Chain A
Amino acid sequence: MATSGIGASVLRKEDDRFLRGRGQYVGDFRMPGMQEVAFVRSPVAHARLKQVHIPERFRGAVFTADDLVGINPIVSAPPLKGFRRSAEPILATGKVRFVGEMIAMCVASTRAEAEDIADAVALDLDELPAVTDMLAACESGSPLVHEEWGDNVFVEFSENVWTDDLRETAIEVRKSIRTARHCMFPMEGRGVLAYRDERLRNLTLVTSTQFPNCVQTGLSECLGLTHGDIRVISPDVGGGFGYKGLLCREEVALAWLALRVGHPVRWLEDCREHLAANANCREHHYEITGYASADGKLLGIECIAHVDAGAYSSYPVSSSVEAAQIANLLPGPYVFANYRCRALAVATNKCPIIPYRGVARSGICLAIEAVMDAVAQEAGLEPHEVRLRNMVQPEQMPFDNLLGKHFDSGDHPECLRRAVEAIGAQQIRERQKQAEPDGRRIGVGISFFVEQGAHGTAVLASWGRPIVPGYEQAQVKLTADGEVEIHVGTHSHGQGHETTYAQVAHEILGVDIDKIKVIQGDTLYIPYSTATWGSRSMVHGGGAVARASRLLAQRAAQIGAWLLQTDIEKVHVAEGKVVAGDSSITLREVARAWYLQPQNLPVGVDSGGLDITAGYRAERDSGTFTYAAHAAVVAIDPATGVVEILDYVVVEDGGTLVNPMIVDGQICGGTAQGIGTCLYEAMPFDAQGQPLASTMLDYMLPGAPEVPDIRVEHMQTPSPYTEFGIKGLGEGGAVGPPAAIVSAVNDALRPLNVEVLDLPLTPERILAAIEAAAARTQPQDAHA
């Protein structure tokens, strides 16, 4: 195996600049004449906007909806039956529907001065009753976010595959589960710099996005410009997690503003805007029932789920995506015959939620795994034993589940067994027999899930995305000095593509990865792409790099064969050379012959050259199915309710790993976020829809001390359908932790008859559950 090809844990090429503080983010750009923007945002969750009063002295520096003539609102209405269309104005008109909705745009030479102007703008608002809870929003008589709908439901998905009568089954368990609305918090927030480029005759947007081409398309729709009128540059991006996979209002506003004022303008999101107005995610509610036989065999699942989608539908993901995933993916990895689910995307007076790493799957995994734990409890079996009894066996792969999800490959039971072994579940059971010396309670929990990634055309078209990915393209070219340049439309925002794509090209061309440059993030230089989200880049982008590299190798081989004076059938490309038996010629010499010394080549040589663009789509694009088991050991202090994670194991099969070190980073980073989802993160709102966290003092993220040393084991079962057997695996780390940790916490608290299924598991929630359980079991002693 090549030391820097597929499978090698080479250090990331991009880290040299990141670790030295030389990355270049939107906030690092300076342009002559650049001015800064601050927004006047709605201070209330629901109101009629009657008037915006702009002090006379600031008249030229403040812009409202009245100024945005000819600008279309953001509409993200997938062609789904019954989907309710919302039109999100760039600046509010008529009504404001959440705290933080943009009302006016203020421009000044510094951000502080722009905020001074924003402070001086007065709003005349007629407050309306707000609806801030997704369940209340579905009751009749609820305030309406969009009056014209008549209710608050964006869309409802339902699945119904039910053949058996399960009314008399041995085990029936019912659970209510709530996940918190939380925030995304990439290290870099959003930022937009917009200016008119006179030389290229376009509007240029430098923006912190995961998908420059989709921003280009979205802007063209909102601004009425052609794609050629718009250039989008996505420079270094400090994390996205889905937050930067949408067209944001600010991008449209700044684009318009740059054309209007004629000088560069920039907006950098601050922490309060990020938390309260922009980056919310994950808020679900489940009422779920599981039916099983006495021996723990799952027979059926019934569920009604609600998603608090907030006030508008984001482009292009739409407000439907989480509810669609719930209905589609709730069966998870398990084999059973009867399934009924209704999943509703509900509008509330809160900011739109956006798909965050794993999208709906962390909630889905929690819901189905809570059922599996409850079945285990009823059947008197270990939780992992119940899971093993309901899994797909390796000889059944590939396997279509009851909704037709096509699990491509793998050995699920082996993965779970390894995790149970690694976490030492048996030893924990022994340890639980004795009291802990510090008075805490110990529990072990496990979760198992499949991670459908790299979804292709068919899947995403059925989910109703307005921009559906097809063939991913890559341009691979040999430069005149025999180095390689790769142009891709995907955009690394932490994934390390500058390294991994180079590894893929190296695998085929044998050129040293230091001589392979990956170029991304500028619509002038990249093939059109739906870019990086949904764990798709390595499968589709990597596949495209492989295809283009192979074609390039063929072209180089033809030239090389001629230079070596041999037949094309006798040569192959390896180690950066065209080789024919004992003789060879370097790709550098091939390139120099083609670009600089063409007189040495015959006239009839292939005229296509050494610059190839090729497209790739997985042979079967219903998605790759990475799977993983997460296992946690926790200690809970029953006096304070504080949870500590003592040990954490992930066993994951992500198919062929291009760079296992980067995969470990993906898993550990995702797991840290999942720990946040489970134990810490919540974006609270009061009954009037006021967001109650505005800084990192009141919004809690796990820090380094709260994240344990995550022990990762890999299995590598290739996907039969993709280049090299690569699978998508960017999100699973964030999917598994809530279910595993909730399971461990409830395992620890079971002797106290306590179960907590509302996230996050705060000390207050745990203590309240302990107190409630104590009151239930000893009502007569309550006053003792």
Chain B
Amino acid sequence: MKPAAFDFVRATSVADASRYLKEAGGTARLVAGGQSLGPMLNLRLARPTLLIDITGIAELSEVSETDDAIIIGACVTTANIEDGRLPGRGFEPLAAVAANIAYRAVRNRGTIGGSFCHADPAADWVTALCALGAECLIAGESGKRSLPAHEFIRGAYDNALAPNEVLAAIKIPRMSSRGRWGYHKVCRKAGEFAMAMAAVLHDSDRDVFRAVIGATHGKPILLADARVLQRADRSLDTSAIDRALESHGITNSLSRRQQLAALARAFAQARPQ
């Protein structure tokens, strides 16, 4: 289990990385923490001719804050987020999610942008960032653009980056002081692919009540208005949820049962007090 031969460069800027990508004509891969790409290289499931290390690009490790959002560079590690090295209030869910991703050794190297680009359906950042209403800030040779997180993820292991584009940062809206966050994943142990996963953000001051179901076979299921999952008395409408899951291709009744449990727990956590 050793990788096939590849060339290796360290990009010094996003433009530099984009140029390397272009020159390699689709056979290069960006690498940051390498926690997903590394095993794929070793198993020779990924055989890029060129690895472009982007961790030396200063701006990709920066964090900045505006009145209503935080912008986290794509190469910020999960461990740094776990340790609360983000300024300001209203971003508490990020540290909570980070702390339960795999093992600390993985979090020390794994980056928020790398995990999101990898788009593993069972990855915590995929579900959590969609639920938080994050926006992906993308840079490429034709300039910058942004995409909502849920549009960035196109399916299992599939993202919306054009061939020479780089995910530069992720912008996450600030939760109001009354905002509530719920997050639950069903798995037996740390590091395991979750069997079910749900996130709920209920922030009525910002008129947000969003639910996301992750660990599916494809892109996470976004319910932009989570009220559709509740009955009039605000209890969960389990048959509506079951139908929603089935309509998204989750046909295995055991999976639906686990997803329902995850969603119910995320809802309970996010219930306004």
What is the interface of chain A, defined by CB distance below 8 A to chain B? Answer: 110-112, 115-116, 119, 270-272, 637, 639-643, 679-680, 694-695, 697, 700, 702-703, 705-706, 763-764, 767-768, 771
Contacts and interface: CB of A to CB of B under 8 A. Distances in A.
Contacts of A763: 186, 188, 195, 258
A637 B191 contact: no
Contacts of A112: 2-5
A421 B191 CA distance: 36
A695 B5 contact: no
Interface string B16-28: 0000000000000
Contacts of B39: 695, 697
Interface string B165-194: 000000000000000000000111111110
Contacts of A695: 39, 43
Contacts, number: 70
A695 B39 CA distance: 9
Interface in B56-94: none
B223 interface: no
Contact of B261 (A270, A637, A643): A637
B253 A680 contact: no
**Cβ-closest 3 pairs across A and B:** A639-B261, A112-B2, A270-B1
23 contacts: A110-B2, A115-B2, A116-B5, A271-B1, A639-B264, A640-B186, A640-B196, A640-B257, A640-B262, A641-B254, A642-B187, A642-B188, A643-B188, A694-B43, A695-B39, A695-B43, A697-B39, A697-B191, A700-B189, A703-B190, A763-B186, A763-B188, A767-B258
B112 interface: no
Contacts of B188: 642-643, 679-680, 700, 706, 763
A531 to B, nearest CB: 30
A147 B262 CA distance: 51
B260 interface: yes
B123 to A, nearest CB: 12
Contacts of B4: 112, 115-116, 119
B44 interface: yes
B189 A680 contact: yes
A674 to B, nearest CB: 16
Given A119-B4, A697-B39, A763-B195, A702 B189 contact: yes
Nearest to A680: B188
A679 B187 CA distance: 12
A272 B43 contact: yes
Contacts of B262: 640
B189 A703 contact: yes
Contacts of B5: 112, 116
B186 A697 contact: no
Q: Which of A270, A702, A706, A767 lies at the interface centre, i.e. has the most chain B CB atoms within 10 A of its CB?
A: A767
Contact of B254 (A115, A702, A764): A764
A35 to B, nearest CB: 14
A703 B196 contact: no
A705 B257 contact: no
Nearest to B262: A640
A640 B258 contact: yes
Contacts of A767: 254, 257-258
Nearest to B187: A642
A271 B192 CA distance: 17
Nearest to A114: B2
Nearest to B186: A640
Contacts of B186: 640, 642, 763
Given A112-B5, A115-B44, A767-B258, 20 more contacts: A112-B2, A112-B3, A115-B4, A119-B4, A270-B1, A271-B1, A639-B258, A639-B264, A640-B186, A642-B187, A680-B189, A694-B43, A697-B191, A700-B188, A703-B191, A705-B189, A763-B195, A764-B254, A768-B254, A771-B254
